[in-house]
Chains A and B, each alone.
Chain A
Amino acid sequence: MRFAGFRTLLYKEVLRFWKVSFQTVGAPVLTAVLYLLIFSHVLDRHVTVYGDVPYTVFLVPGLVMMSVLQNAFANTSSSLIQSKITGNIVFMLLPPISYREFFAAYVLAAIVRGAFVGTGVILVSLLMVSLPVVAPAWIIVFALLGGAILASFGMIAGIWADKFDQLSAFQNFLIMPLTMLSGVFYSIHSLPPVWQTVSHLNPFFYMIDGFRYGFFGQSDVSPWVSLGVVSACFVVLAILTLSMLARGYKLRA
């Protein structure tokens, strides 16, 4: 049966995070909502963005995208390292599943988790703010591409890392700073010129800026530029991940 291995692996990966959904979906939604509550309480009366967009409304898409990205990374990286350390990865390596199917299943499952968390954040946010949606296609495109990029990155980290400590280094010293400094909490136009330039070197900025365009029809850079950067990042990371899988790097001795 064509792609049966892929379908089962995708189902297994979704079932895996769904079985612990308090931890994998509920907790990230709560964290994002806490950010929203605290920042909106402190800043909403003092800051507007893109002219007249209230700060809380501006913040929501950034928090949604941040949640999508962090959870997509967490899904692939934690699943792979757990399977490697406990040894049950052998159950996925023994069957006739190609490395492309393996990649697609893990990435799609991570996108599904990111979508669950992102949707959860949006739904809870709607209780507090009214959120415009100007260009839904951009929202979907950037959510999918951003999720896929971080899912691929998570696969690279999960395959490369030999212990949880190394994985948490990836998460805390790379993913977290790049996300926090990507414009989740501010428009980069509010930054001094030098930091605006630095922000343009951060691929996370384009994911969040393009995603935000879908809600407000306004962004710091053109969504087409963001799409180009994000697509290029995905292609590079996908090629790297696929080459690791094809070689069996740290999976097939």
Chain B
Amino acid sequence: MSAPAIRIAGVRKRYGQLKALDGIDLEVQQGEFFGLLGPNGAGKTTLISALAGLTRVDEGELAVMGHDVVADYRQARRKLGVVPQELVFDPFFSVREALRLQSGYFGIRRNDTWIDEILASLDLAHKADANMRMLSGGMKRRVLVAQALVHRPPVIVLDEPTAGVDVELRQGLWQFIRRLNRDGHTIVLTTHYLEEAQTLCNRIAMLKAGRVVALDTTDNLLARFASRVLRVRLSAPVGLDFLPGARDAGHGWVEIPFESYGEVEDMLSRIRLTGGQVEDMVLGEPDLEKVFMGVMHEA
């Protein structure tokens, strides 16, 4: 059986009195598109930094593709590509120079064919010889992605890669990352855009105060913590106490949770029987934001 892409066992990290990571156990299998979610200060970036060797943990073990990030750091780092959260760049170099240097750090020379491919995929080919200072924020973000990919790592960690990025670039970026995932790369994503995580990730871990408070497939999390919702606007207020979970959503709207679409017709006929007249109606799918709020509230 192949080693998990990422193995995190009993990891603890303190900064003074603050428990940044408080006993994290987590495995990400090869080929997964994995989401790491949590509010600010939950420990996501500390965990990624520990995985990348940027932070040293007080206790526990971390491994990338079976290689311990401390004892076998050379192999572990070769297997990992990290897109950092901050928009960092070296102002002395052009895009191509930055990518060639990054390749060299990983022991790869004459990497221009792959560099050109990444630049084309990220729509950066026309900026290859531009100095990093001359690029817009979105382009700098794309260069960060390119830098994380120059050594063709099987595991790619993206720490809030779409923060402050416009919609068009975001779509392009996700298309590219999805392609990498289809090609077999393991993707770990942290983001505050929960709809992105819901759409992209097969499995999600939620962190709060340095602990994993939820870990499951996206579908299971949605099924467990969020239900579908029928939203109706009635011509006149009618008591809907007979519908379990119905609640006033303001501006004349009422929200009624349900499990399967078969229940909708029954709910509508019962509303009509009580004299209610539906003026408008919306069917809402369960969303990760509700799951997230629920999990964070419970934890």
* A interface residue numbers (CB < 8 A to B): 1, 4-5, 7-9, 11-12, 15-16, 19-20, 83, 86-88, 90-98, 248, 252-253
Chain A residues, Cβ within 8 Å of B49: 253
Chain B residues, Cβ within 8 Å of A20: 92
Chain A residues, Cβ within 8 Å of B104: 4-5, 7-8, 11-12
Chain A residues, Cβ within 8 Å of B106: 4-5, 95-96
Nearest CB in chain B: distance from A13 CB, A: 10
B105 contacts A88, CB within 8 Å? no
A252's partner among B54, B98, B102, B108 (CB-CB below 8 A) is B54
| Complex: A230 Cα to B38 Cα, angstroms | 54
* B interface residue numbers (CB < 8 A to A): 15, 49, 52-56, 73-75, 77-78, 80, 82, 84, 86, 88-93, 97-98, 101-102, 104-109, 147, 151
A96 contacts B55, CB within 8 Å? no
Q: What residue of chain A has the Cβ atom nearest to residue B103's Cβ? A: A8
A15 contacts B92, CB within 8 Å? yes
Nearest CB in chain B: distance from A186 CB, A: 39
Q: What residue of chain A has the Cβ atom nearest to residue B79's Cβ? A: A96
B82 contacts A253, CB within 8 Å? no
Nearest CB in chain B: distance from A9 CB, A: 7
| Complex: A87 Cα to B84 Cα, angstroms | 10
| Complex: A5 Cα to B78 Cα, angstroms | 12
Chain A residues, Cβ within 8 Å of B102: 91, 95
B73 contacts A94, CB within 8 Å? no
Nearest CB in chain A: distance from B182 CB, A: 25
A96 contacts B54, CB within 8 Å? no
Closest 5 CB pairs of A and B: A8-B104, A4-B107, A95-B105, A87-B88, A96-B74
A90 contacts B78, CB within 8 Å? no
Using known A-B contacts A95-B105, A252-B53, A253-B54, determine if residue A16 contacts B78 with beta carbons closer than 8 Å.
no
| Complex: A86 Cα to B109 Cα, angstroms | 26
10 contacts between A and B (CB under 8 A): A4-B107, A5-B106, A12-B101, A15-B93, A86-B90, A87-B84, A90-B84, A91-B105, A97-B105, A253-B56
Nearest CB in chain B: distance from A237 CB, A: 24
Nearest CB in chain B: distance from A69 CB, A: 24
| Complex: A4 Cα to B107 Cα, angstroms | 5
Q: What residue of chain A has the Cβ atom nearest to residue B98's Cβ? A: A91
Chain B residues, Cβ within 8 Å of A12: 101, 104
B53's partner among A16, A88, A93 (CB-CB below 8 A) is A93
Nearest CB in chain A: distance from B157 CB, A: 10
B89's partner among A88, A94, A98 (CB-CB below 8 A) is A88
Beyond A11-B101, A95-B106, A252-B53, 11 additional contacts (C-beta under 8 Å) are: A9-B105, A12-B101, A16-B92, A20-B92, A88-B90, A90-B84, A91-B88, A91-B102, A91-B105, A94-B82, A253-B56
| Complex: A191 Cα to B98 Cα, angstroms | 52
A94's partner among B56, B77, B91, B98 (CB-CB below 8 A) is B77
Among B52, B102, B104, the one with the most A-chain Cβ atoms within 10 Å of its Cβ is B104
Chain A residues, Cβ within 8 Å of B73: 96
Chain A residues, Cβ within 8 Å of B151: 95
| Complex: A5 Cα to B104 Cα, angstroms | 6
A96's partner among B56, B78, B92 (CB-CB below 8 A) is B78
A19 contacts B92, CB within 8 Å? yes
Chain A residues, Cβ within 8 Å of B75: 96
| Complex: A78 Cα to B151 Cα, angstroms | 28
Using known A-B contacts A94-B82, A96-B77, A253-B49, determine if residue A88 contacts B88 with beta carbons closer than 8 Å.
yes
Nearest CB in chain A: distance from B99 CB, A: 11
B101 contacts A8, CB within 8 Å? yes
Among B55, B97, B106, the one with the most A-chain Cβ atoms within 10 Å of its Cβ is B106
A87 contacts B86, CB within 8 Å? yes
Chain A residues, Cβ within 8 Å of B54: 90, 93-94, 252-253
B56 contacts A5, CB within 8 Å? no
